[in-house]
A and B are shown apart, each in its own frame.
Chain A
Amino acid sequence: MSKKIILLMIFMLFANSAPAKEEWKRAFEEEYLKILPVGEPEKVSVCIDCHKSEIMRPELRKIPSEWRQSWHAENNISCHDCHGGDPEDEKMAMTPERGFVGKPSHAQIPEFCGRCHKGILEHYLKSGHGIALRKTGHAPTCVTCHGSHGIKKASIDIINEDLCTRCHSYERAKTMKLALSVVETKIKDTEDALKELRREGIVIERDEKEFFRIHAEFRALFHTTDVNLVKDRTDEFTRRLKDLDSRLSAYFKELNFRRNYSVFFMLLFAGMGGAIYFIYKENKGK
């Protein structure tokens, strides 16, 4: 009798449960993570919703997918960060009241990107590209080399024959690339060392920030297209990277020390364990 009552109670307990949903495995995490820290449902971007929809022309419809693959997306830079507007209000999304600036003209592009990339803009405007743009309005701008929505993390490989020879000969750019390559290799090594330290559980924010500064300044220098200036400043960047590397080497030494220290204690305690167990065995037999 009591078993029946227990079974009935269990049945009643489960009778209230919700029916199974489709794709419940994927829904699970959404269900458990739906409450965001502000206590509101996750915000959606009307820019992306609209650009993905059928009402958009095909060339505009591919923008969201390009952006998702971009370096900007990886760093949480969204549509409204560049184009302004309100990504949460469909009706007001593209109004000047909400700061919408839309697509810049070709001549406006450097200023458009330079709102964030200030150092690069400064160098670009002094460069042959920048001067030509000011004079003719038809020189290469940021998007000529980097692309727009699908922008990738920049590297020295952007300077290449295919790209440069679209407008002029490659000779000058090649000399520039050679001058940059020494520092670029060093930057790559330092970046790898910082990643390796992270993998080992060491986060050195101040050194990461210093690396970011050097990296950004060096990248800004690319944009002068002034080979002599690049050559002049190579020594300075090399020295700064060397200083940073010596600090990182100290961390690698510290990691080695930690490992050796732990191994020593591991052996010490294992040895003590063995010795005590031996004493136990000896005494137990008596």
Chain B
Amino acid sequence: MKLMDYIDERLGLTSLIRSQFIDYKVPKEINIFYTLGFIALAGFMIQAITGLFLLFYYVPHPDHAFSSVQRIMNDIPYGWLFRQVHVVGSNLMVAVVFLHLFSVFFMGSYKKPREFHWLVGAIMLFFILTFCLSGYLLPWSQLSYWATTVVANLPTGFPYIGDIIADTLRGGKSVTGLTLNRFFGLHVALLPCLMSVLIAIHIFLIRRTGISIPPWYERLEHTPPSGYRHATYPEGQPFYLFMLKELSMVMFYIAMIFFVIAFLPTLFLPEDTLVEANPSRTPEHIRPEWYFLAPYQMLKLIPSKFLGIALQLILLLVFFFWPFIDRSPERNILKRPKLLTVFIVTTFLWIILTITGGR
């Protein structure tokens, strides 16, 4: 007890915990979708921890990468567990982030004063997908090699700068050991640092403006006419209670990871991942990971490489800056039939493109 007092006198942890977890109130009306951000954060932490263990045995060299991954799977005690959690976790994390994005859009949580939250979140999504792309190559399997060849070739559709971007990404005209080194550096050094900074900014922004509430409870939130305002909810629930809800969802998320490992162990590790990369032999069916299937299929359907990529870039810009494009003060999408239609049609098209792209 004396030790606790000693620490508390110097750090003031008791008052910090009181102010952040008990006195800090969040609205009672927030639903289960509000836990998705925390699940994504927990998912990122799981990736960081399992990734660190994999790093102990992984060798980032074309001659050894594949065999080192097989060694992790077959010889290193519990290596399979760390790799499987890392692989399944990455896919589930992307799914959670997509769901988070959809719920934020649907509940209009990106609107004033939370435009920057969306922007930072969108940049994080971009980095997460870059994480996935760079990590996908590391096992140096046939699937990872050729999927990377396709994706890394996409920027070449752009005139003038396309080849420069693609060559910089690959470290040459094709996917080689240099690409492996670059992707490895990105995956384990640069991206984790950038992501950590962005997560910190995202959390800072949420704490700074206060959490939003679903638009159908808008009457509880008094929109200020102008100027900065921290959204407070004196009648709300203490944050630690909401943390319990978030924690329970994280537990279900981890249970889901183990469900996939137990019953669908090869869902994200099909047979082509068990064959070492062979640059001279193109597999029959090449396709990127499921979250890249929609843009991949879109490129297939648009009969011009440049047009396809330009269209995707425009869509990407619209996505990034959506809160600044959508200036309507109405947060409730149910009261905006046009936007609701666009939302449903876009989601439907995305699903159709993903399904057809996977065939």
Contact = CB atoms under 8 A, between A and B. Distances in A.
B151 to A, nearest CB: 9
Given A199-B266, A201-B274, A261-B81, A274 B248 contact: yes
**Chain A binding site: helix, strand, loop or mixed by DSSP?**
helix
Contacts of B245: 277, 280
Interface string B42-69: 0000000000000000000000000100
B248 A277 contact: yes
Interface stretch (A12-20, A46-54, A111-119, A175-183): A12-20
Interface in B43-100: 67, 70, 73-74, 80-81, 84
B244 A270 contact: no
A268 B150 CA distance: 40
Contact of A35 (B70, B153, B263): B153
Contact of B280 (A36, A204, A269): A36
B241 interface: yes
B262 interface: yes
A15 B173 CA distance: 28
Interface string A3-46: 00000001001101111110011001101110111110000000
Contacts of B286: 29, 33
A200 B262 CA distance: 11
A168 interface: no
B18 interface: no
B237 interface: yes
Given A28-B299, A273-B249, A277-B245, A259 B174 contact: no
Given A14-B307, A273-B248, A284 B281 contact: no
Contact of B304 (A18, A36, A267, A274): A18
- Residue among A18, A32, A198, A270 having the largest count of chain B Cβ atoms under 10 Å: A32
A280 B173 contact: no
A198 B241 CA distance: 46
A139 B176 CA distance: 50
B304 A266 contact: no
A14 B81 CA distance: 48
B262 A37 contact: no
Interface of A: 10, 13-14, 16-21, 24-25, 28-29, 31-33, 35-39, 76, 198-205, 258-259, 261-263, 265-270, 272-277, 279-280, 283-284
22 contacts: A17-B304, A17-B306, A20-B304, A25-B300, A29-B150, A33-B286, A35-B153, A37-B174, A37-B280, A39-B174, A201-B274, A205-B70, A268-B255, A269-B254, A269-B255, A270-B255, A273-B249, A273-B250, A273-B252, A280-B241, A284-B28, A284-B241
